[in-house]
């Protein structure tokens, strides 16, 4: 205190009391143990709904050290915040850190928000994923008979759910699961990263998903879905790491996504054989826009093969595929039943492809032997236009089903540059019918060119889908900066 007194003598009296107060408060802070000093920052984000209540995962004992298991913290947080469903909804903020967790379920009128430096690490312990029943439209799991491990982030019978952030990361740590799959050591189907069932008004946006054990994003039996600004990364030889799989969903918008995958970047589905036929819930009114895909062994967009509930009114535009096996592929088989119709594709750029066009009528995997061999799929009104491809091995392999041809195929304004070692037969067509216009190289005889006098683009609807009327708004939240 002698230094303080000497210093104060040299300071005008009018400032002494103020300085003394500051020094005493600082000293008291030191006496009580050098507490962390923090400030608040306001973060803005786009969402279908803003929330009245916010909490941080750390408020519920979360520890972001990459080794502490936070499953109970997530569950406690969601359970607590669920009380605000009718009071403006709630948001769980996941701050910077590495948050190891097993499965946790979401609630309605709820936002899960990941900080830009937050990483959700999926547990590799099977015990952290309860086993649930197979999907009724599938009759069994995709990997094995019977049940399936619940997804890392799961929800069912929900309304108004947002999973978003500042491009925070969800890491599925899938290598262990891939190894078990290859060694046939799995008793149940692998977990997905995000699965939402029987729900309405869903947004999944502004996230990075890496190394999923299997499918990444799986909305199933849902309506009014926006999936936007997602980056999905998986090794290109990893098994079944589909990017986004809308499944028996109505009114969906997928846009501005970048996907590197070991399977289809986007796979549109609606149930498997007799189970999908009986469930009878199609996927329809689906918009796919501004997608970039890399998948050397699979499709940019696959329709099927599980399509027994039907797929209708899919509109894909402004698509880029690089080093990918095929562009938009239709996969089906005898026994599927259902339909794929009213498909519209335009504005596709492809570089280094095996196939530009690929339709398969013999994709014959079945859930069991109880399928109806007389359940033939209907493939009709398939439209492709305004496409450019280079370094292509085969322009098209279009194989319908004998006695059940694929009809109404239209291809216009398409330029395909074949690779130096391309197959001699650029177009291979059986059991299909349709027309072409302005296509290079010349299509097969089953797609006759309409001639220069009758050149017309294939159809692409101009009216909006209902999902285009579903708007997002600017929301904000406050986070602590230490």
10 Å CB burial of residue 290 (0-12, 13-18, 19+) is middle
- pLDDT value of residue 22: 40
Q: Are 78 and 71 in contact (CB under 8 A)?
A: no
- pLDDT value of residue 36: 52
**Cα 54 from chain centroid?**
25
Catalytic pick from 143, 242, 263, 380? 263
Q: What is the pLDDT of residues 2-53, one digit of tens each?
A: 333 333 344 444 444 544 444 434 444 443 444 555 577 888 999 999 999 9
In 322-397, which ranges are continuous DSSP H helix?
Answer: none
- pLDDT value of residue 40: 72
Please confirm, yes or no, whether 171 is among the known catalytic residues: no
* Residue spans of the chain under pLDDT 50: 1-16, 18-34
- pLDDT value of residue 42: 86
The pair of three-digit structure tokens given for residue 197, joined into one six-digit string? 């069932």
Which residues neighbour 387 within 8 Å (Cβ) at sequence distance 6 or greater? Answer: 327, 345, 346, 347, 348, 349, 350, 356, 413, 414, 415
- pLDDT value of residue 260: 98
- pLDDT value of residue 481: 65
The pair of three-digit structure tokens given for residue 278, joined into one six-digit string? 């009986």
The predicted model scores a pTM of 0.91
- pLDDT value of residue 363: 95
Instruction: DSSP for 127-154, please give it.
Output: GGS-EEPPPTTTSS-SSSSS-EEPPSEE
Q: What is the pLDDT of residues 102-117, one digit of tens each?
A: 999 999 999 999 999 9
Q: Are 410 and 380 in contact (CB under 8 A)?
A: no
């Amino acid at each position: 205190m002698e230094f303080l007194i000497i210093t104060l003598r040299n300071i005008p009296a009018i400032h002494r009391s103020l300085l003394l107060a500051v020094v005493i408060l600082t000293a008291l802070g030191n006496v009580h143990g050098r507490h962390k000093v923090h400030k608040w920052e306001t973060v803005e984000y786009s969402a279908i709904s803003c929330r009245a209540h916010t909490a941080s995962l750390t408020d519920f004992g979360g520890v972001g050290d990459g080794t502490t298991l936070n499953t109970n913290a997530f569950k406690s947080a969601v359970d607590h915040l669920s009380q605000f469903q009718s009071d403006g909804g709630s948001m769980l903020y996941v701050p910077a850190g590495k948050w190891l967790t097993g499965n946790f379920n979401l609630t309605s009128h709820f936002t899960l928000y990941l900080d830009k430096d937050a990483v959700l690490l999926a547990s590799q312990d099977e015990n952290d994923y309860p086993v649930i029943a197979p999907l009724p439209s599938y009759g069994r799991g995709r990997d094995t008979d019977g049940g399936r491990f619940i997804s890392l982030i799961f929800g069912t019978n929900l309304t108004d759910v947002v999973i978003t952030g500042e491009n925070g990361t969800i890491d599925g740590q899938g290598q262990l699961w891939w190894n078990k799959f290859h060694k046939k050591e799995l008793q149940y189907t692998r977990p997905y990263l995000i699965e939402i069932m029987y729900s309405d008004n869903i947004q999944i946006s502004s996230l990075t998903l890496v190394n999923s054990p299997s499918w990444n994003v799986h909305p199933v039996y849902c309506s009014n879905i926006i999936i936007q600004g997602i980056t999905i990364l998986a090794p290109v030889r990893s098994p079944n790491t589909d990017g986004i799989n809308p499944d028996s969903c109505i009114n969906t918008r997928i846009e501005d996504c970048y996907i590197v995958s070991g399977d289809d970047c986007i796979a549109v589905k609606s149930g498997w054989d007799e189970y999908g036929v009986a469930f009878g819930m199609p996927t329809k009114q689906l918009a796919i826009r501004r997608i970039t895909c890399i998948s050397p062994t699979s499709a940019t967009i696959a329709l099927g093969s599980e399509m027994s509930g039907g797929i209708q009114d899919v509109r894909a535009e402004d698509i880029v595929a690089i080093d990918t096996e095929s562009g938009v592929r239709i996969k089906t088989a005898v026994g599927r039943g259902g339909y794929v119709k009213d498909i519209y594709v335009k504005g596709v750029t492809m570089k280094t492809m095996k196939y530009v066009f690929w339709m398969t009528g013999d994709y014959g995997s079945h859930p069991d032997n109880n399928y109806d061999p007389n359940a033939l799929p209907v493939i009709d009104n398939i439209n492709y236009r305004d496409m450019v491809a280079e370094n292509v091995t085969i322009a098209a392999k279009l194989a319908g089903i004998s006695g059940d041809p694929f009809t109404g195929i239209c291809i216009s304004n398409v330029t395909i540059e074949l690779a130096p070692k391309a197959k001699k037969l650029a177009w291979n067509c059986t059991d299909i019918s349709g027309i072409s216009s302005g296509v290079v190289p010349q299509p097969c005889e089953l797609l006759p060119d309409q001639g220069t006098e009758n050149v017309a683009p294939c159809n692409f609807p101009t009216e909006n889908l209902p999902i285009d009327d579903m708007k997002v708004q600017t929301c904000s939240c406050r986070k602590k900066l230490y």
